[in-house]
Amino acid sequence: MQTKSISDGWLTLSRKCESPHFNQRPEGAKGEVSLLVIHNISLPAGQFGLPYIDQLFQGCLDVEADASFCELEGLTVSAHFLIRRDGEIVQYVSCDDRAWHAGVSHYDGRDGCNDFAIGIELEGTDNCKYTDLQYQQLRMLTLALFDAYPMLNVKTIVGHSDIAPGRKTDPGDSFDWQRYLTSLVG
């Protein structure tokens, strides 16, 4: 297995699917990458392996494709990464830029987590078990991010629910935090 690394904000050996939904991080310490946020996503909800997540993050989602998509019309959102259920890693935004994944958020006395966070989406739902391949790839990606961004470590990893409590619930009860965090230190 080839080792993946971050070069100029991009993960080597991953599928690149650039999103227009990003901007530059703020200058100085406010924009230093110091938080990793784990999310989940599926479009339509609970369905996997379809092209709609790429379309959403690229701003070209066909809102007629599913009745549930009407609420997504005009939404400008992205993440840095998506890990699909088969383990494929897709990158949408350079880690050096600000992806629009956290929304209204707060962590450790700071608002606007997009300014200083990297967002990883797992294809899944709050109550559907994630795959072994997703955990393997998440571990590999996290370690590559640790190497590239020295302020990241196991203590700076949170769920979307942690930075937007009451508004977000992902990655949900189905995410095995102990398995993931233990794999990073073992």
Q: What is the CATH number of the domain that holds 159?
A: 3.40.80.10
* Domain count along the chain: 1
169: how many CB neighbours lie within 10 A of its CB?
Answer: 16
Q: Is 18 a residue of the active site?
A: no
**Bridge pairing between strands 81-83 and 117-123:** parallel
d(CA 38, CA 169) in angstroms, rounded, equals 11
CA-to-CA distance for 166 and 60, rounded, in angstroms? 29
Token digits of residue 130: 């994630």
Q: Which amino acid is at 134?
A: Q
The residue range of the domain holding 47 is 5-184
pLDDT over 80 at 29, yes or no: no
From 71, 88, 121, 123, the catalytic residue: 121
Question: For a pLDDT cut of 70, what percent of the chain falls above it?
Answer: 98
Q: How many CB atoms lie within 10 A of CB 2?
A: 6
- Sorted by sequence, the CB contacts under 8 Å of residue 29 that are 6+ apart come out as none
Compute the average pLDDT of residues 145-170. 97
Instruction: Return the pLDDT at 107.
Output: 96
User: What pLDDT does residue 25 have?
Assistant: 96
Residues shown for the chain: 186
Q: How far apart are CA 81 and CA 144, in angstroms?
A: 13
pLDDT tier at 186, thresholds 50, 70, 90: low
Distance CA 83, CA 186 (A): 22
Tell me: the pLDDT tens digits for 42-89? Answer: 999 999 999 999 999 999 999 999 999 999 999 999 999 999 999 999
Mean pLDDT in residue range 93-112: 96
Mean pLDDT score across all residues of the chain: 96
Confidence check: pLDDT of 2 > 70: no
Query: Strands 35-41 and 117-123, how do they pair?
Result: parallel
